Amino acid sequence: MSANAEIGFVLGGLRCAGCAARVERELRAAPGVSEAAVNFAGSRALVRFDPGQSDVAALATRIESLGYVAHAFDPAASVRPAPTHEARLALARLLVAAFLAGNVMVISFALYFGALGDIDAGLRRGLRALALCLSLPALSWCAAPFWRGAWAGARRRELTLDVPIVLGISTAFVATALGTLREARDVFSDSAATIVFLMLLGRTLERSARARASAAIDALAARAPRRALRRERGALAEVDVEALLAGDRVVVPAGQRLPVDGRLLSPAADLDESLLTGEALPATRRAGELVNGGVLNLSSELELEVTRPASQGTIARLVGLLERAQAQRPELQRAVDRVAAWFAPAVLAVAAATCVGAVLAGSSGVDAALRGAAVLIVACPCALGLGTPAAVAAALGRGAQLGLWFKSGAALERASRIARVLIDKTGTLTWGRLELRQVLCAPTASPERVLELAADALGASSHPIADAVRRAASSRGLAPAGPAERLTLPGLGVEAGALACGSRELLERRGVALDASLAAAATAAREAGDSLAFVADGGKAVGALVLGDSLRPFARAAIQSLGRAGVSCALVSGDDLPAVRRAADAADIGEAIGRATPESKLERVRSELERGVHVAFAGDGINDAAALAAAELGFAFARGSDVTVEAADVVSHDPDLRSLPTALALGRAAMRRIRENLALAVAYNAIAVPLAIAGVIGPLSAALAMSGSSLVVTANALRLQRFGSTR
Strands of 262-264's sheet in order across = 235-240, 227-232, 249-252, 302-306, 262-264, 290-291
Write phi, then psi, for 406 (nearest 5 degrees).
-80, 135
Report the alpha-carbon distance of residue 393 to residue 397 in Å, rounded: 6
Give the contacts of 602 (CB within 8 A, at least 6 positions apart).
Answer: 626, 627, 630
Rounded CA-CA distance 21/27 in Å is 10
Whole-angstrom distance, CA of residue 587 vs CA of residue 553: 10
CB atoms within 10 A of CB 185: 8
| Cβ–Cβ under 8 Å, residues 667 and 412 | yes
**DSSP string for 491-509:** TTEEEETTEEEE-HHHHHH
The span from the CA of 177 to the CA of 222, in Å, is 51
Kindly give, in sequence order, each residue whose CB lies less than 8 Å from that of residue 94, ignoring residues fewer than 6 positions away.
142, 197, 200, 201, 204
CA 560 centroid distance within chain:
25
Distance from C-alpha of 702 to C-alpha of 350, rounded to nearest angstrom:
15
Do residues 547 and 436 lie in contact, with contact meaning Cβ atoms separated by under 8 Å?
yes
Q: Taking CA 516 as the corner, what is the angle to CA 515 and CA 522, rounded to the nearest 5 degrees?
A: 90
Instruction: Identify the bridge partners of residue 10 per DSSP, sorted by sequence position.
Output: 44, 71
The number of beta carbons lying within 10 Å of the beta carbon of residue 419 is 16
Alpha helices in 117-155 (DSSP H): 121-137, 144-155
Of 288, 241, 275, 236, residue with least CA distance to 260: 241
| 471 neighbors 462 (Cβ within 8 angstroms) | no
CB contact at 8 A, 507 and 489: no
Rounded to an integer, what distance in angstroms lies between the CA atom of residue 300 and that of residue 556? 36
**588 is known as an active-site residue:** no
Q: What is the dihedral of CA 440, 443, 444, 449, to 10 degrees?
A: 10
Q: Is 46 helix (H, G, I), strand (E, B) or coil?
A: strand
CA distance 374 to 351: 8
632: which DSSP letter? S
Q: What is the DSSP letter of 75?
A: T
Catalytic residue among 248, 337, 367, 424: 424
List residues bridging with 544 in a β-sheet: 440, 534
Q: Where are the alpha helices (DSSP H) in 29-68?
A: 56-64
Determine the 3-state secondary structure of 417 from DSSP. Answer: coil
Residue type, 444: T
Identify whether the C-beta of residue 90 lies closer than 8 Å to the C-beta of residue 43: no
Contacts of 575 (CB under 8 A, 6+ apart): 425, 426, 594, 595
Taking every pair of Cα atoms in the chain, the longest distance, rounded to a whole number of angstroms, is: 124
Q: Are 309 and 262 in contact (CB under 8 A)?
A: no
What backbone torsions phi and psi does residue 440 show, to the nearest 5 degrees? -90, 135
Asked if 696 and 192 count as a contact pair (C-beta separation under 8 A), the reply is: no
CB within 8 A of 631, min separation 6: which ones? 422, 605, 609, 615, 616, 617
Positions annotated as catalytic residues are 424
